[in-house]
Amino acid sequence: MTLPFDTAGVAGAGAMGRGIAQMCVQAGSTVKLYDTQAAAASRARDEIFNQWDRMVDKGRLDAAAAAAHKERLQLVDGLAGFAGCDLVIEAIVERLDVKKTFFAEVEAIVQPHAVLATNTSSLSVTAIAAGLQRPQQMAGYHFFNPVPLMKVVEVVAGLKTDPAVADALMRYTRAMGHTPVQAQDTPGFIVNHAGRAYGTEALRIVGEGVTDFATVDRILKDQVGFRLGPFELLDLTGLDVSHPVMESIYHQYFEEPRYRPSVIAAQRAAGGVVGRKVGEGFYRYVDGKAQVPAEAPVPSVAELPPVWVSTRAARRAELYQLLKDLGAKFETGQSPSLHALTLVAPLGFDVTTVAVVERLDPARTVGIDLLVEDSATRRRVLATNPATRSDMRDAAHALFARDGKAVSVIRDSGGFVTQRVVAAIVNIAADICQQRICSPKDLETAVTLGLGYPLGPLAMGDRWGPANVLEVLFNLQTVYGDPRYRPSPWLRRRGAIGLSLLHEES
């Protein structure tokens, strides 16, 4: 088999099929494009031609190259047109029965050496290949939309896939100018699997009444650096797409608690409140623009009380320096006075638990999230407990907003917002490595290119400390009693011996 594949067939002329066809042509293949609706295939070809014409106009593509590209993109009016193809890529409806029927028909048409590839995002490649005469010739080949811009491609080996087939697809992907990552055939592969925590943990936080959608989005963008908050992202993709994937991965993993979906998403999907495309999701949209509620103003406090900091606070020295910079008055005794604002900075625990364990007056106790160092964030997050007095809440808010940095005040939650979401992301990524679904390197590549995270999940764990992430998870499990937060053995072992999560085992 020579590479790139001399002739490729692409079935499905929707946005995904159109993008795949375009990239296969640009990799040097003659591409035969087919759709059950001939008009759809014609529109897809015309749109691709128009894209190449625009690239020529902008000087990004030579006119002769564009003409050669157009000659290599051909429409066929039936599956028989794929007879001479070295590679057939399917990008049709996500239904196992439909895909199995399609590949059974194509296998009977193509030559024995031909590779069959499915662009499925959530179905089992092994299940799709079951019943074929040559299952070793089939693999998953998962592109992301829009294909020309999303540079990562998951190459997925089914249970019987010949390793040479996966290797050939990896090389072909590079010929397109894309980046391949290799995954085992497991629910969600790499990207959709690793991305579970961001949305589901955010939904769980809101479901507990900790805060609202917009505040969660603000916190995760400003504290961690995500480009879109989880609810902005869900509105962009649409709950009609995202929620079924949440349910699919959850059920395929036999109700693994780490992937548990949310009743909030289920209800909104059922009610058609699915996101930007219908004008209403977690936000309302006017002329395509989200209507984001205003933040609560900084309270006006005539005189701030003295501040006492817990001896067990995370980043205690940094917190003292921050309070000094903000002009706070300190108390340094073994316990706070009756007038002091009491600050705690737990990892994983809620403010209530810390106040009880440390025998602090809960009415004057407020928590601050310091998993991420203050100098690296654009927002501070405070948490009250059910007994916190409003004057103490307002004093803490006013104090930490003195230098103009944004402040969010949320209700009590184990792990605040950032700790919970980051720990869940790192933990699921660690368990992907534990299951040997892919290498740590491919995991980082897939997530940064496929999801656009500011850091790969393992780098995120290294950045804020595997031991700290473990502490958050252990304490979350204590607070909630939920196996959702049990640490992956892969993470626990590396955190225990101080090993980088990016370390590749020999």
Residue 504: the pLDDT is: 85
Q: Which long-range contacts (CB under 8 A, 24 or more apart) does 201-206 make?
A: 201/420, 201/421, 201/424, 202/229, 202/230, 202/231, 202/417, 202/421, 203/230, 203/261, 203/262, 203/264, 203/265, 204/260, 204/262, 204/420, 205/413, 205/417, 205/420, 205/421, 206/264
User: Which tens digits make up the pLDDT trace of 139-181?
Assistant: 999 999 999 999 999 999 999 999 999 999 999 999 999 999 9
Residue 506: the pLDDT is: 67
- Selecting among 29, 69, 119, 142, the annotated active-site residue is 142
Residue 167: the pLDDT is: 96
Residue 30 pLDDT grade (very low, low, confident, very high; cuts 50, 70, 90): very high
For residue 489, which amino acid is it? P
- Express as a percent the part of the chain with pLDDT over 90: 97
Name the pTM for this structure. 0.94
Q: Which long-range contacts (CB under 8 A, 24 or more apart) does 499-506 make?
A: 499/466, 500/462, 501/426, 501/430, 501/440, 501/458, 501/459, 501/461, 501/462, 501/466, 502/440, 502/441, 502/444, 502/458, 502/459, 502/462, 503/440, 504/439, 504/440, 504/441
- Selecting among 121, 124, 248, 262, the annotated active-site residue is 121
The structure tokens listed for 32 are 């035969």
8: enclosing H helix or E strand: strand 7-11
Residue 3: the pLDDT is: 52
- Beta strands per DSSP E along 35-146: 73-75, 87-90, 115-118, 138-142
192 annotated active-site: yes
Residue 1: the pLDDT is: 45
Mean pLDDT of 184-207: 96
Residue 331 CA to residue 252 CA, distance in Å, equals 54
Mean pLDDT score across all residues of the chain: 96
Q: Which residues contact 117 (CB under 8 A, 6 or more apart)?
A: 87, 88, 89, 90, 138, 139, 140, 141, 169
468 annotated active-site: no
Mean pLDDT of 466-478: 97
**For residue 403, is pLDDT > 60?**
yes
Mean pLDDT of 74-103: 96
User: Which tens digits make up the pLDDT trace of 318-362?
Assistant: 999 999 999 999 999 999 999 999 999 999 999 999 999 999 999
475 annotated active-site: no
Residue 4 pLDDT grade (very low, low, confident, very high; cuts 50, 70, 90): low
- Selecting among 124, 192, 468, 475, the annotated active-site residue is 192
Residue 414 CA to residue 347 CA, distance in Å, equals 8
**Is-cis flag, bond preceding 257, omega within 30?**
no
The structure tokens listed for 289 are 């623009």
**For residue 299, is pLDDT > 60?**
yes
Residue 498's SS3 state is: coil
On whether the CB atoms of residues 140 and 189 are closer than 8 A, the answer is yes
User: Which tens digits make up the pLDDT trace of 432-444?
Assistant: 999 999 999 999 9
Residue 158 CA to residue 135 CA, distance in Å, equals 8
User: Which tens digits make up the pLDDT trace of 284-294?
Assistant: 999 999 999 99
**For residue 505, is pLDDT > 90?**
no
User: Which tens digits make up the pLDDT trace of 304-322?
Assistant: 999 999 999 999 999 999 9
471 annotated active-site: no
